[in-house]
Structure 1
Amino acid sequence: MADVLIVCVREDEPQAKALADMFEAAGFSIGGAPNSDGALRSSGAGVVVWSQASIRSRPFLDAAQRVINANKAVVASLIEPPPPSSVGESPAFDLSRWDGDPNDPALDPLFFAVDRMVNAARAGVGAAQRETQDFDPPPRAPRQTALRAEPPPRRQEPPQYRAPPAEPTPSYRVPPQSDPLGSEAEHWRAIRD
C-alpha cells in the first residue's frame, strides 16, 4: 500500500520526483498512478501533477479522473490551476512559480493537504481494522435464501355491530356535603356570630 500516489506524465517526472522526495522525507510511501482500484482504495492521497503536457495525455486524464472520483486527489498545478469543474472538490495548489526545490516553502500548503488525507486514511483503516488488498475481490453471487412458505393469510371476520353503551340513568339524589355548614360563607358567619 502506498500512502501517496503520484499521477504525472513522463515530461513532468523531475517535478514529480521532487514531490516524491518531499513526501518520502516525511515518512510516506510513494506509488505511481493507480493501476487498480485496490491500489487506489488503499492509498491515502493521490497527487495529480497538472501541466501543459499532462492535459494532452488521455491516459493521464483517465488516471487523474479515477483519483478525483475516489476523493483522494490533491492537484499540484504547474500551470494555471484547472477549473473546479475539472477537479470537483479536490484541493488545487498553484505551483506555477515553483522552481523544483523539494524544500521550497511554497509546497507547504500542498504537503499539509496530503498529510491530512493520508493521516485520515490511516486512522480510518486502523479504526475499522479492515484489510487492504491489491486486487479487486471477485464479484459475489447474489445470496440465495431458502424458500419458505408464507404464513397463511389472516382470517378476516366480518365487522360486528356493537351497540353504543347505554346512557347512565339520571339520579335525583343530592350529593352529601362534606362541609356541615354548607359553604364557606356560612362558616365565617357562624364564627363571627
Structure 2
Amino acid sequence: MPTTPRCEHCDEPMPITARRHARFCKPACRAAAHRAARAIPAELTARPRWVRRTARKVPVTVGGDVASSTDPASWSTYRDAAKSTAGAGLGFVLNGDGVVCLDLDHCLDHEGAIAGWARNMLDAVNGSTWVEVSQGGDGLHVWGFGALPHGRRITVGGGSVELYGTGRYIAVTGRTFGGTPQRLGDLQHVIDSVV
C-alpha cells in the first residue's frame, strides 16, 4: 500500500493538489527549508555521507532505494541529497571520523521550553557548537567532534540522551536551535562527563 507523501519541512501530509514530485506542502515550508539548508555547518555538508530519509526515518539513497549507515556506496554528497525528491528529508551518516551527535530526546515542550536536564547539557556545551531541533520538534541534536567508539543511550537527570559517532545516521532538519553557531565544536568534555 503506498504511503502518503509528506512535506519535507513540516512532515504534514501533502495536499491532494500537490504535484507528484513536490517536496513541500506550501510556499512557506519551501522557504523555511531553504533557509534551514543554509544553516547546516560546512563540516557536515563537505562530507559525502548524506542520505535521504522517509517520514518514518528509514534511510534511502538519492534514487529512493534503501540506504545503509555502514555502506558508503549508498551515500551521496550533500548537494545531490538536497536536490533529490526521494523520501521526506535529509540524513547524515556517522562513520567514526570524529563527527558525533548527542540526541537529546523529548527535551522541548510544545511551547519550546527546554527541560532542566537538557539545559544542563547545553550549558556544558557553552554555545560552542551547532544544535538543531529534531524532526519531531521536541528534541535536540547537538553536533560536534569527539571520540565515541560505540553508541549509547544514557539517562541524565530524568531525560534520555543518545550518543553516536559511528554506524548510524541522524535525520537532519537544519532548524538551528537558539543562537548556536553554524560550526562544529569539541564535545569530548561533554561525552566524558556523561559516559
The structure with the largest strand share of the pair is 2
Larger Rg: 1
**TM-score of the alignment, normalized to the shorter chain, above 0.5:** no
The structure with the largest helix share of the pair is 1
- TM-score, with structure 1 as normaliser: 0.22
- TM-score, with structure 2 as normaliser: 0.22
